[in-house]
Structure 1
Amino acid sequence: MAHPLQIRAEILDITPLGAYSRVLLRAPGVASRVRPGHFAAVAVGGGDSSMLLRRAFSIHRADPEQETVSLVVAEHGRGTRELLRSRRGDSLDLVAPLGTAFPQPVGALTALFVGGGYGGAPLFPLAEQIVAQGGAVGFILGASTGERLFGVDSARKLTPDVLVTTDDGSSGIKGQVTLPLAEAVKAIGAEAVYSCGPMAMLRAVTGIATAEGVRSFCAVEEAMACGVGVCMSCVLPVVGEDGVSRFVRSCVEGPCFDGTRVRWDDIGTVPADLYGAAAMGVR
């Protein structure tokens, strides 16, 4: 679990990246605490805004020497629109790093990284770490259209084993990231698959990786209201190490999970065998 700080972070730059934007922040004390898979929660709109809830974003990069962190933001609604209209030199209220990061790899691991759209943002620091430790990596990066792909050039700087998929066929293979996944696992001899993107994608990736006999770790994209474990709006049914299923918070126990422990079919429900379900009146 992370040890977050709440600070006023200075906006150093907002750079367009295809359909997305990179927001670079000076965040003293934060970057040294960041591990791949952590996220940040940002207040938007100022102190008098009616937008009370923070917006959560995966941390794409953290540079302890420069004391900076970068977020990749897609404009979805009023909150992200307000954030992206900020100017250099503006400050915002930042809480980071938050959540539970990906497990730290040990030794020379061979891993396949699967990103859906800008969901791939938190995967790159982990891939770089694996390469630095003498391991090898491959990527499958997908999106609905070519414009919505993220990180293809960065992936190709790390490895020649990069596959691109788009739903409309405007770039790379026409189809979803799961289409070449099984063959890619075999081709590079992957020992683990790391993924981040829409929940349906994570469910499918976990199923294929498990069928191929490799570990699957995923960073879920669950809607969060508070980001710090108070509101319980982001709970998922997850099987614990003791074999008991419980609701756990994506913002605290996650967002990074062993994909085989998430009960994908039961998301949005209260399974009858869930710990505490009887107290909730579930029969």
Structure 2
Amino acid sequence: MPDGPVHVQGEVVATKRVGGYRHLTLTAPGVPERFRAGNFVALTADGHVARRAFWVHRVRASSAFGPTLDVVMETRGSGTAWLAAQPVGAKVAITGPLGRPFALPKDAVSCLLVGEGYAAAPLFPLAERLRERGCSVSLAVSAPDEAHLLSALEARRSARAVTVLTADGSVGVRGTVADHVGDLVGRSDADVVYAAGPHHVLHAVAAAAESAGAWSQVAVESPTPCGTGLCHGCPLPVVGEDGVDRVVRACTEGPVVRGDRVRWASL
């Protein structure tokens, strides 16, 4: 199958509310087959020019509807509210898969995955790929409270060791990623650390990985008006391989980048 994104008419085949999020299962002909962990999709909301980008949480190669993909959304404005309200059978324009995915290690190494809130979504298909390669996978999922944890039960099927963190202590260990990430990196003996979440979470994880001598990759979430790189509306400040500061497009050169290459203070 050729690489590159496709623009297709998808259909909502399942919708459910789980805690503070809405989970949509969509058909999107050609997208699941091209998907790699860390890719995202852009959905068109009726009456909105800018499309809404969502991490892909799960891909099913076969179902009663054919290949499907799942996205997780938190209602934050009129666009996400419209998409979250779409019933089963609704048609939705979908472009994807988009963006640069996670790079997988060539050898079976120890990996730590750290995610917060709905943005932890891309770590679940990543955990599956890593396990297929024989990697030892530890997973930490974090949120302000229980309602905003993503798939904490599913995490236990995806990883050898799972840590659940909530800032209010409502479930799991009390505290934030910044409070515990140094210990998480040490206990997992990680060679590679992956992270997905708000910028402050990614920064904390990248710093802890660097201190431990581990390699890190972070999925940087940015508003992506077009999702294809044409509008240059998602600037991501990085340090290039040549040591020169530059700004790249999060939707094409990212969203996954090396944690030690992001100019965090400029985000």
TM-score range, shorter chain: over 0.9
CA contact (8 A) 2:119 2:198 kept: yes
Alignment-derived partner of residue 9 in structure 2: 8
Alignment-derived partner of residue 58 in structure 1: 55
**What does residue range 17-166 of structure 1 map to in structure 2 within 5 Å?**
17-45=18-46, 49=47, 51-65=48-62, 66-166=66-166
After TM superposition, give the deviation of residue 178 of structure 1 in Å. Answer: 2.4
Describe the superposition over 1:247-275 as per-residue Cα deviations: whole angstroms up to 9, x where unpaired: 100001000000100110122xxxxxxxx
CA contact (8 A) 1:111 1:194 kept: yes
**What does residue range 103-252 of structure 1 map to in structure 2 within 5 Å?**
103-252=103-252
After TM superposition, give the deviation of residue 19 of structure 1 in Å. Answer: 1.0
**What does residue range 272-283 of structure 1 map to in structure 2 within 5 Å?**
none
**Residues in 1 aligned to 2:239 and 2:263: alpha-carbon distance in whole angstroms:** 7
Q: Percent identity?
A: 39
Q: Which runs of 5+ in 1 are unaligned?
A: 268-283
**Residues in 2 aligned to 1:105 and 1:27: alpha-carbon distance in whole angstroms:** 29
SS of the counterpart of 2:15? strand
SS of the counterpart of 1:200? helix
Moved more, 140-149 or 156-165: 156-165
**Residues in 1 aligned to 2:104 and 2:4: alpha-carbon distance in whole angstroms:** 16
Q: Which amino acid aligns with 2:43?
A: V
- Number of residue pairs aligned between Structure 1 and Structure 2: 262
**Residues in 2 aligned to 1:181 and 1:202: alpha-carbon distance in whole angstroms:** 10
SS of the counterpart of 1:53? coil
What is the RMSD of the two structures over their aligned residues, measured on CA atoms?
Answer: 1.3
CA contact (8 A) 1:110 1:191 kept: yes
Q: Which runs of 5+ in 2 are unaligned?
A: none
Moved more, 160-169 or 6-15: 160-169
After TM superposition, give the deviation of residue 158 of structure 1 in Å. Answer: 2.8
User: TM-score, normalized by length of structure 1?
Assistant: 0.89
Which has more radius of gyration? 1
Alignment-derived partner of residue 263 in structure 2: 263
**Residues in 1 aligned to 2:133 and 2:183: alpha-carbon distance in whole angstroms:** 25
Describe the superposition over 1:178-224 as per-residue Cα deviations: whole angstroms up to 9, x where unpaired: 22222222222111110000011111111111111101100011112
Moved more, 170-179 or 25-34: 170-179
SS of the counterpart of 1:242? coil
CA contact (8 A) 2:165 2:177 kept: yes
